[in-house]
Amino acid sequence: MASLLGVTAIHHAPNLDMYRRMGTTATASPAPSLSFADKSHLIALKAQACFSGTNRRNLSGFSSSAIATPNSILSEEAFSSLDGFSKDSLDDNFIDSEPDSSLAFSAADDDELAISKLHLPQRLTDALQKRGITHLFPIQRAVLVPALEGRDLIARAKTGTGKTLAFGIPILKKLTEDDELRSSRRRSRLPRVLVLTPTRELAKQVEKEIKESAPYLNTVCVYGGVSYVTQQNALSRGVDVVVGTPGRIIDLINGNSLNLGEVEYLVLDEADQMLAVGFEEDVEVILEKLPSQRQNMLFSATMPTWVKKLARKYLENPLTIDLVGDQDEKLAEGIKLHAILTTATSKQTILRDLVTVYAKGGKTIVFTQTKRDADEVSLALANSITSEALHGDISQHQRERTLNGFRQGKFTVLVATDVASRGLDIPNVDLVIHYELPNDPETFVHRSGRTGRAGKEGTAILMFTNSQRRTVRSLERDVGCKFEFANPPAIEEVLESSAEQVVVTLRGVHPESIEFFTPTAQKLIDEQGPGALAAALAQLSGFSHPPSSRSLINHEQGWVTLQLTRDPSYSRGFLSARSVTGFLSDIYSPAADEVGKIHLIADERINGAVFDLPEEIAKELLNKELPEGNTILKVTKLPPLQDDGPPSDNYGRFSGRERNSRNSSRDRRGYRTSRGWGSSRDSDDDGDLFGRNRSFRTNSSRGRNFKSSGDDWLIGGRRSSRSSSVDRFGGSCFNCGRMGHRASECPDK
Ligand SMILES: Nc1ncnc2c1ncn2[C@@H]1O[C@H](COP(=O)(O)OP(=O)(O)OP(=O)(O)O)[C@@H](O)[C@H]1O
């Protein structure tokens, strides 16, 4: 690298001075266009840059031992110091010193970060501007100077913040300048840049970004799953940049189609993910084949041991640029986070509603844990929403078609396994849904980062079950984020959003088609009034039949939630789940047999409970005459419930999560230590059936998942009127609250 540095210095010395000056003011205050790097954020970054040995160790995944030398600094520190420091000042003794707190943050000049002011080769500037890239993003600004100085780098920045061009711009600058000096472009020239990525999709995306930014250079993408011939031919025509996955690169080297003997720049993108997908050996084989004189840039979200080892072995005196740090929220600023409580049985229905209400017709990516789930969920959605699955079992060709179709808006929901979570840059994804909890916080960050990219806004929704509450809290702590806990959308919201979306769709109908249908529309309106248009809207929204009712408790279709309220002056006993069942059995015994979960109302002034019943049974029950002082109503909104509060210390003691943990070890924060705490095989929400006494569920026809052992589920003391039933009443009386008799037999009646 030393010689390369020498060359760089000769070629670029004047420019570097300019960049250093720019860097100082740029750091001092961000350009207004960089909305997600506001002043306070930068001040925070600067605080992080207090790079004493101690706090450096605190940087998660970026401990001092992670890096080969103590020569690691945070980019903002590097940047803010560039004015007064030469390249040499980026060396050892600078690093461990505290930053100069007096360093003033002066007003920024937007122009100083403008691509047009960077003195890049005109061709490069033009191509970038044509793509709408007019100003540097923070990670690009942070990487630019040290990269141009030829330094080895280890870098980390939030998702969607422009890491590709962070290494792309300095490398392309050098390549373009050299290209201009060259009189003729040699055919069969060997690649000068190698970018290694862990997935094929990411490789293609990086290639695209580079190609579009420097179309005059030859960039070739190589990855498995497709024919060798096209890739071999492209390589043989002469190439400047090779982007690819390790396996195919090794194959091409072994087949003498790829010679890496002239590589000057190596970029390892998503280095930690290389490990996750088992490429570590291949990466090392490739690195051994590269010339030792080269510049290395390693991008990694975390620093597992292997990545540290790699950095120590192959990087020279690397500079660490960390725009995430330990304290910061690791997600890009524009991402709103929601957590929605679901149940295993109602998940698919809720998912559809979430897509309708939150994406409003925009692009959504749904993440599942397993390939099978991705297929199933995509298929289930496809009834009403255009959707495709993406996972490793799908052929490469089809994967590309699917991704292109999604990019072009041919369908709106992509259901993917984590193969798509890393690095994929699909513009304008409005919504990310974690259908299953991710395996670890990093996966959560990467999945969520598919939205809110390049400074845009987006929403990420985590679907979780009752038994996963604690893990959700751990996730908040680990990621440094806060979820807004919300209920699944009510059917009214779903209908409203559907109608809004249909109206938007109607705007896209071609005027000529409208003309063709106008006479019929006029006739319909004359005959039926606005009802005709309403019918058309209902049909287009997929609601040609009235929406089936939904439980407000667990959102299952075909169920309704009723509220029983009892005037305290008519009874001495408090309402309990058992007494509710007893009462139902007196009024209409099928209701007692079929009742779902019963929750007591939290408001102490109301002696009441809510419970679920199948629609038909609820209808019958609502027609029955009730004893004085009692009311039963269908509710459209749940009142606060007694077991809504935070989990007690006993939470999860008998939950599905704990039961699962016999098979999978977890660390103390609830993550599975092997893959998959959020596995699709996670339990239903029946965890609290066994550990809590305020929420009950009968053995109704839908109670498929609960244990048949133990008595907790024996609401009202009987399994059903079809079993031992009526002879001995084990529940408590709705009238007096005492055990052993029904309200109808109550001595106090
Ligand atoms: N300076 C810029 N101005 C405008 N858009 C930019 C700029 N830099 C990058 N972009 C765009 O931002 C998007 C995200 O960039 P990129 O994919 O490089 O992010 P990333 O940090 O690598 O994300 P991930 O961590 O998810 O892989 C891309 O569409 C890219 O073209």
Residue 633 CA to residue 622 CA, distance in Å, equals 7
Q: Distance, CA 149 to ligand 1 centroid (Å)?
A: 23
Q: Is 438 in the pocket of ligand 1 (CB under 6 A)?
A: no
Could you tell me how far CA 583 lies from the centroid of its own chain? Answer: 46
DSSP 739: B
Residue nearest to atom 10 of ligand 1 (CA): 162
Residue 401 CA to residue 436 CA, distance in Å, equals 25
Q: Is 113 in the pocket of ligand 1 (CB under 6 A)?
A: no
Atom of ligand 1 nearest to the CA of 301: 25
Amino acid 749: pLDDT: 57
Atom of ligand 1 nearest to the CA of 455: 12
Amino acid 744: pLDDT: 56
Atom of ligand 1 nearest to the CA of 205: 17
Q: Is 164 in the pocket of ligand 1 (CB under 6 A)?
A: yes
State residue 427 phi and psi, 5-degree precision.
Answer: -65, 145
Q: For the packed helices 200-213 and 122-130, what is the interaxial angle rounded to 10 degrees?
A: 120
Amino acid 446: pLDDT: 85
Q: Is 161 in the pocket of ligand 1 (CB under 6 A)?
A: yes
Q: What is the 3-state secondary structure (H, E, C) of 301-334?
A: CCCCHHHHHHHHHHCCCCEEEECCCCCCCCCCCC
Q: Is 159 in the pocket of ligand 1 (CB under 6 A)?
A: yes
Dig out the tokens for 666 from the structure.
């977890």
Query: Is residue 696 classed as helix, strand or coil in its secondary structure?
Result: strand
Least reliable range by pLDDT among 177-186, 516-525, 690-699: 690-699
DSSP 170: H
| 645 exposure class (CB count in 10 Å sphere: 0-12, 13-18, 19+) | exposed
Q: Is 425 in the pocket of ligand 1 (CB under 6 A)?
A: yes
Q: Is 687 in the pocket of ligand 1 (CB under 6 A)?
A: no
Q: Distance, CA 194 to ligand 1 centroid (Å)?
A: 19
Amino acid 376: pLDDT: 93
Q: What is the ipTM for the molecules in this complex?
A: 0.97
Pocket probe for ligand 1: among 125, 165, 418, the residue whose CB has the most ligand atoms within 8 Å is 165
Between 48 and 330, whose confidence is greater? 330
Q: Distance, CA 454 to ligand 1 centroid (Å)?
A: 6
Amino acid 707: pLDDT: 26
Between 683 and 227, whose confidence is greater? 227
Amino acid 219: pLDDT: 96
Residue 723 CA to residue 727 CA, distance in Å, equals 10
Amino acid 184: pLDDT: 63
Amino acid 664: pLDDT: 37
Q: Is 115 in the pocket of ligand 1 (CB under 6 A)?
A: no
Residue nearest to atom 4 of ligand 1 (CA): 133
Mean pLDDT on 26-37: 30
Per-residue pLDDT tens digits for 479-532: 888 899 988 888 888 888 988 888 888 888 999 999 999 999 999 999 999 999
Pocket probe for ligand 1: among 139, 421, 425, 457, the residue whose CB has the most ligand atoms within 8 Å is 425
Residue nearest to atom 23 of ligand 1 (CA): 160
Q: Is 133 in the pocket of ligand 1 (CB under 6 A)?
A: yes
Contact (Cβ atoms closer than 8 angstroms) between residue 85 and residue 94: yes
Residue 49 CA to residue 88 CA, distance in Å, equals 19
Per-residue pLDDT tens digits for 427-478: 889 999 999 998 888 888 888 988 887 778 899 999 998 888 888 988 888 8
Residue nearest to atom 25 of ligand 1 (CA): 159
Most confident of 240-254, 393-407, 446-460, 730-744: 240-254
Amino acid 604: pLDDT: 79
Query: Is residue 295 classed as helix, strand or coil in its secondary structure?
Result: strand
Q: Pick the closest to residue 705 from 554, 494, 531 (CA basis).
A: 554
Dig out the tokens for 551 from the structure.
């439980």
Q: Is 137 in the pocket of ligand 1 (CB under 6 A)?
A: yes
The answer to whether the predicted template modeling score (pTM) of the entire model surpasses 0.80 is no
Per-residue pLDDT tens digits for 610-622: 999 999 999 999 9
Q: Is 423 in the pocket of ligand 1 (CB under 6 A)?
A: yes
Amino acid 488: pLDDT: 86
Cross-strand bridge partners of residue 155:
299, 321
Amino acid 188: pLDDT: 62
Cross-strand bridge partners of residue 298:
154, 268
Per-residue pLDDT tens digits for 293-327: 999 999 987 778 888 899 999 999 999 998 876 64
Amino acid 179: pLDDT: 82
- 25 pLDDT higher than 70: no
Pocket probe for ligand 1: among 33, 113, 129, 133, the residue whose CB has the most ligand atoms within 8 Å is 133
Between 675 and 122, whose confidence is greater? 122
Q: Distance, CA 616 to ligand 1 centroid (Å)?
A: 53
The dihedral formed by the CA atoms of 683, 684, 688 and 689, expressed in degrees to the nearest 10: -110
Atom of ligand 1 nearest to the CA of 135: 1
